[in-house]
Amino acid sequence: MRLATFTQEGTTRIGVVEGDRIVDLAAAAPELPREMVAFLEAGEPALKTARAAVGTGPFLALSDVHLEAPIERPPKFLAVGLNYADHVREAGIDTPEHPTIFNKQSTCITGPTDPVHIPRASHVLDYEGELGFVIGKRCRHVKREDAADVIAGYTIVDDVTVRDWQLRIPTWTMGKSFDTHGPIGPWIVTPDEIGDPHSLRLRTWVNDELRQDSNTKELIFDCFTLVEHFSTAFTLEPGDLIATGTPSGVGIAMKPPKLLVEGDVVRIEIEGIGQIENPVIQEPV
């Protein structure tokens, strides 16, 4: 299934995307929660009800709704740096022995087609196309071989980064958490549709220029390893979002650097999921 959050006629709710249509779960299964984290917390019975609704409708045209971030406020937004072999080579550093972990504040989340702001505080703005995954079960001390069972699905993340703020101190949270700097979507694809999450082509365009072209097989610490790593320290909860890192081709590493400017459009596509496309604008006054 492709689980989405959408707004139509001023009301935001969740649905299941089928082709160019979306099943409005608020109408098809009014007993279900209308918000994604609550839906995931309801577990397998809610997923089963949603699957049944796909066969009955009612349907809305995707063109008649606005897709929001599938999870508008994840309980935790965790991310991994330096996690693609090609990106490590690009950066000219040694392969890390342990995952490099940082937080993005959940208020940075924005939708799959919504604008990304060049902040007033800096113009050193960069993109990072990434595979994200969403936790579906409350869990702790998960073994790698059991990790697939706690993942609700996969999505696309643009880990937008203000590079000068990122690099001025050892911790990256400030440079990673400006408002609008977490586009995600366009939906969450359940694992049964994804198959192997570690064999997906990932591409990022800025305008019509292909900047990143890699595959999740380049991940140093894969999704299941990350679940084991995180859950060693703290409880993972339904709706937690993990961004797995970006491959080579980020703007700051180009010679000369190609940072984002007003008017750019960043499009990220991951095989089996879809694409997000976000225009870059100045932060409104």
- Distance, CA of 21 to CA of 189 (rounded, Å): 15
At 204, which helix (H) or strand (E)? Answer: strand 201-206
Is the whole model's pTM more than 0.95, yes or no?
Answer: yes
Instruction: Report the C-alpha gap between 206 and 265 in whole angstroms.
Output: 6
**Mean pLDDT, all residues of the chain:** 96
Bond into 58 cis (ω within 30) = yes
The helix/strand/coil state of 209 is strand
Burial zone of 255 (CB within 10 Å; 0-12 exposed, 13-18 middle, 19+ buried): exposed
Task: Tell me what pLDDT residue 151 has.
Answer: 98
The predicted-structure confidence for 50-104, as pLDDT tens digits, reads as follows 999 998 888 999 999 999 999 999 999 999 998 998 878 877 778 889 999 999 9
Burial degree of 97 (CB within 10 A; 0-12, 13-18, 19+): exposed
Strand bridging mode 182-189 / 151-158: antiparallel
Six token digits for residue 188? 């969450």
Q: Name the strand (E) or helix (H) holding 156.
A: strand 151-158
Query: Which among 110, 100, 38 is positioned nearest to 75, based on CA atoms?
Result: 38
Q: What is the pLDDT of residue 279?
A: 98
In angstroms, the Cα distances linking 96 to 5, 27, 150, 211, 283 are 36, 49, 26, 24, 35
Percentage of the chain lying above the pLDDT 70 cut? 100
Which residue in the block uniquely carries the two structure tokens 């800025």? Answer: 206
Q: How confident is the model at residue 260 (pLDDT cuts 50, 70, 90)?
A: very high
Taken in order of first residue, the domains within the chain and their CATH numbers are 2-67 (2.30.30.230), 77-282 (3.90.850.10)
Radius of gyration of the chain (CA): 18
The total of other beta-carbon atoms located within 10 Å of residue 101's CB is 17
Report whether the peptide linkage leading into residue 96 is cis, meaning its omega lies within 30 degrees of zero. Answer: no
**What mean pLDDT is predicted for residues 136-145?**
98
Task: Reply yes or no on whether the pLDDT at 142 is more than 80.
Answer: yes
Predicted confidence at residue 91, as pLDDT, reads 75
Alpha-carbon distance of 203 to 207, in angstroms, equals 13
Alpha helices in the chain (DSSP H): 25-28, 36-41, 44-54, 85-91, 163-167, 173-176, 191-194, 223-233
* Residue 84 DSSP one-character state: B
pLDDT of residue 88: 80
131 strand-pairing partners: 156
Residue 238 has pLDDT above 90, yes or no: yes
